[in-house]
Every structure is written in C-alpha cells, then in structure tokens.
Amino acid sequence: MNLSKKLANVLARTLGEYVQNVDEDSLQVGLWAGDLQLKNLELRPDALRKAELPVVLRSGSVGTVRLKVPWKSFGSGGVALVVSDLKVVLEP
C-alpha cells in the first residue's frame, strides 16, 4: 500500500464523520513540501447533528481543504488549514 492510499484511509477515518468521498483520487500530497489537499468532498447529511443546531443540512460540498505544515519550523510555526469553495444548503 503506497503512502497516498494510507493517508487517504487515515483521513477517511478521521474526517468520515463529516465528509464523504475521501479517497486516493481526492487527495493530493506534497508531503515533503508540507502540503496536503483534499478536493471535491461532499458533506454528510448528518454532519451537523452533534452540534444540535436549529437547522438541518440538506446538502453541502467542499471544493478544497488544504493543510500546510511548515516542516522547517515545526513545533514553533503554525499549521494552516484553508477551506475553499464551501457550499451548504441549510433548512430550519
């Protein structure tokens, strides 16, 4: 099993409560550059249920989730998480 497939499996388990379609095809890894991207994810219909909000998620998608890890300053520098093209349809 290659690194991308292993990472995709870990991310699917970690994020699986909130998003669907996490697989090797949705993952782009530049590990040594400290760059990891997930693309074209669908929010799970029950993703907001635990938050007990007065709304229901009817549909949702995330174009890109990007994680930047500054390996050179790891431990002293911050990790950046950027979410792009977030679309949600909520209903009371």
The residue range of the domain holding 49 is 3-91
DSSP the chain: --HHHHHHHHHHHHHTTTEE--SGGGEEEEGGGTEEEEEEEEE-TTTTGGGT-SSEEEEEEEEEEEEE--GGGBTTBPPEEEEEEEEEEEE-
Per the model's pLDDT, the better-predicted residue between 9 and 75 turns out to be: 9
Structural domain tally of the chain?
A: 1
Give the per-residue pLDDT at 60. 96
pLDDT at 69 exceeding the cut of 90? no
pLDDT for 1 equals 55
pLDDT of residue 70: 78
Mean pLDDT, the chain, rounded, equals 84
Q: What is the pLDDT of residue 55?
A: 92
Could you tell me the pLDDT band of residue 31, with boundaries at 50, 70 and 90? low
